[in-house]
Amino acid sequence: MGVFVCRDNINLITNHRRSMGQRQAKQHMQAGVKLYHQRHYAQAINKWRQSLNRLNNAEDRFITLGYLAQALCDQGEYEGMLSYALSQMQLATDQNDSAMKCEAFLNLAKAYERLADFTKALQYGKASLEHPSMDPRTPGYAHLTIALAHLGMSQFQQCLESFESAMNVANETSDRLLELQICVGLGSLFTLLRDITKALIFLRNALAIVQSVTVDDVHAKYRCLILYHLSVALRMKGSLVDAKEACDEASQLAVEMGNRAIHARCMCSLADIYRELGESEAKETITKSWARYEDAYRVMRGANDKMGEVLVLSSMAKSASESRSHYTGQCECQAIQLNKKCIEIANQIGCKHVVLKCHLRLAELYSQLNDDDSEETARRAASRLTQEMQLFCNFCGQRYGLKDESLQALRCSHIFHEKCLHTYLLQRTDQNCPKCRCRAVLSDNISIRSSIASTADVQSPSTSFAPPGGVATPLVSAAAELGDITPQATLTRRPHQDKILRGAEKDIDRVDRSLARLKSQQATPGNSCSAVAVPSPEVPSTTTSGGSEPIPSTSTAPIQNQSTANHKPPPPPRKPCCSQAALPPSSIVALPPAMPLAEDGPLVITHTPTVTDV
């Protein structure tokens, strides 16, 4: 009898110790959330890793894995993020939990999108939409990730469609953080398409929305992201001083947050700004600006950030193409090599827009060398990519994306010159899209007013939060549940931020008046099935005057000659001054070793599951 009593006592003690261990592990998990929002990121990650090794409950383990994945994403450690997302997927599969699978698929999609594996990002994003979610906002983040993947692959129509679907979810659920990220994505899209006015409006509205985010580190994270994209758009607009101020603050915030990816992008953007300012005004030599590119490229290589590598190489290639006399002593060899290296990596990830810009630069370089065959090959490649990406207006036949022009999207997500679309809606009663022949209705969800909070709306109730473990904002959710995290009472604006926000008012009013004029033409219903009779042009065999690229051919639009009044005459042709062989890729910049993860690294699954594996 005494033996059985002793065994029972041992079992009770063992169960009590296990229970105590689980409570301590959950306390570690909650302590990690507090540390993270106090910007003690390394300590928070260590706490979560310790609790992950001791937790037995599947749901608690899934939530902790979500915290770790989000934390590494915020720091630009995308391979570590992928490892934890794969662990989430394995756990969800073991539990056969559809809601867990939905969140795990979304984390996988986000990780692959950051790693520029856009095909897998699209697959996992769509798989997330096929499973029921724990929160109605989760599909909105899946649509957002799909939109960013399409943007990375330069599929602009599909990108707009996914942004519109994400905005539908943001409007239905009043999720301000989702709306903010959509604004940033649309700002990036219109920056690529060179509609800088719309890009600045979306980004300035995102900057206004972020003022309602009360958790300090989340506010800093999104403010850092917005200011980086603002610096790019302002530089392209020509506001170099404002661009430098925004980039400096974004870089400082990125360092404080430990986000290597954004910090490296800021270094590249700052080098672009200094390059355009010139040595006298920037008070920085071109050599120092070039060193910024090299430092940024090293960081991108260390983080395996392929899209970041492409962005930096594209800027380096442009800088070398424009300043050949400084870098290579009147030699085009390094500029050509950099453009080819950029094309190689961009083709690997499917970024057609960057490939297009490189081919255009190569065509100009070959023109200087009197290499007619290579120039023709580059121009043909540029014309083909223009057709594939549909970077032309069907009404006038002209390319867009070469200069700052106002664009407008229809509900079918096809994009045209705003002035051409305005003229078309004024003149025709059968208002159909000339590309897909659907009813020509202006897109409402991604218009300037309908989907973006005005400055008055920023004072509305605070951001809604997702549940614990949700991929959308898991750390913000945990902060909301832990009542002892002090919110940021007042948000201090930098002097240049007020100037940036004030500048949005004028742009918004101007675009709103234009949208109102366009929508007023749709009051009279037309035949939605009738086709648009537009003459079919012949494919041009030569380039337009002034050395510009060939006009893309299309079966639905006439071709007009581009204006060449502002084109500068090219310098006299010359032969290359060297005959050396192509440099190896490692000679462009020194490649550092991969950065090791911290101790107690993430769980690694050797087999990467596909959609059909789960």
For residue 156, give both structure tokens.
């602009």
The conformation of residue 417, written as its DSSP 8-state character, comes to E
* Residue 581 tokens, joined: 């062989």
Q: Are strands 415-417 and 407-409 parallel, antiparallel or unpaired?
A: antiparallel
DSSP string for 564-577: -TTPPPPPPP---S
DSSP class of residue 534? -
Give the pair of three-digit tokens for residue 613.
Answer: 């594996």
Cβ count within 10 A of residue 609: 16
DSSP label of 563? P
| Most confident range, picked from 311-325, 469-483, 569-583 | 311-325
pTM of the model: 0.74
Confidence of residue 575 (pLDDT cuts 50, 70, 90): very low
Instruction: Using alpha carbons, list the distances in angstroms from residue 425 to 396, 433, 551.
Output: 14, 10, 24
Q: Which among 49-63, 187-201, 320-334, 586-600 has the top mean pLDDT?
A: 187-201
Q: Which helix (H) or strand (E) holds 193?
A: none
User: By the 8 A CB rule, do 69 and 111 touch?
Assistant: yes
DSSP letter for 613, please. G
φ/ψ of 60, rounded to 5, equals -65, -40
What is the model's pLDDT at position 490? 30
Helix or strand holding residue 408 (H, E): strand 407-409
Contact 596, 346 (CB under 8 A): no
Q: Which two structure tokens, joined as six digits, stand for 369?
A: 């060398």
Residue, of 441 and 398, whose pLDDT is higher: 398
Calpha distance 300→485 (Å, rounded): 34
- pLDDT of 323 reads 72
For 392, residues 6+ apart whose C-beta sits below 8 A from its C-beta are 386, 398, 399, 400, 551, 552, 554, 557
- What crossing angle do the helices spanning 216-237 and 2-37 adopt, rounded to 10°? 30
Q: Is the pLDDT of residue 517 over 50?
A: yes
Measured CA to CA, the distance from residue 53 to residue 403 in angstroms comes to: 55
Contact by Cβ (8 Å): 29, 64:
yes
Which of 53-67, 208-222, 573-587 is least confident?
573-587
Determine which of 65-69, 334-338, 480-484, 503-507 has the lowest per-residue pLDDT on average. 480-484
Cβ-contact 140, 128 below 8 angstroms: no
- Residue 211: Cβ-neighbour burial (10 angstroms; 0-12, 13-18, 19+): middle
Which residue segments constitute the domains of the chain, with CATH numbers given? 305-390 (1.25.40.10)
Q: Evaluate whether 400 touches 417 at the Cβ level (below 8 Å).
A: yes
The model's pLDDT over 345-388, given as tens digits with 9 standing for 90+, comes to: 999 999 999 999 999 999 999 998 899 999 999 999 999 999 99
Distance separating alpha carbons of residues 331 and 365, to the nearest angstrom: 10
| Terminal C-alpha separation, the chain | 51
| Residue 557 dihedral angles phi and psi, to the nearest 5° | -150, 140
Rounded to 10 degrees, what is the CA torsion of 361, 363, 367, 372? Answer: 160
CA separation for the pair 144, 166 (Å, rounded):
6
Give the model confidence (pLDDT) of 22-75 as tens digits.
Answer: 787 788 788 888 888 888 888 999 989 988 888 888 999 999 999 999 999 988
Which backbone phi and psi does 409 adopt, to 5 degrees? -105, 140
What interhelical angle do 58-74 and 41-54 show, nearest 10? Answer: 160
Q: What is the sign of the dihedral through the CA atoms of 306, 308, 309 and 310?
A: positive
CB-based contact 279:285 (threshold 8 Å): yes
Residue whose structure tokens are 């106090």? 38
Q: Return all residues near 279 (Cβ < 8 A) that are at least 6 apart.
A: 285, 286
SS3 category, 416: strand
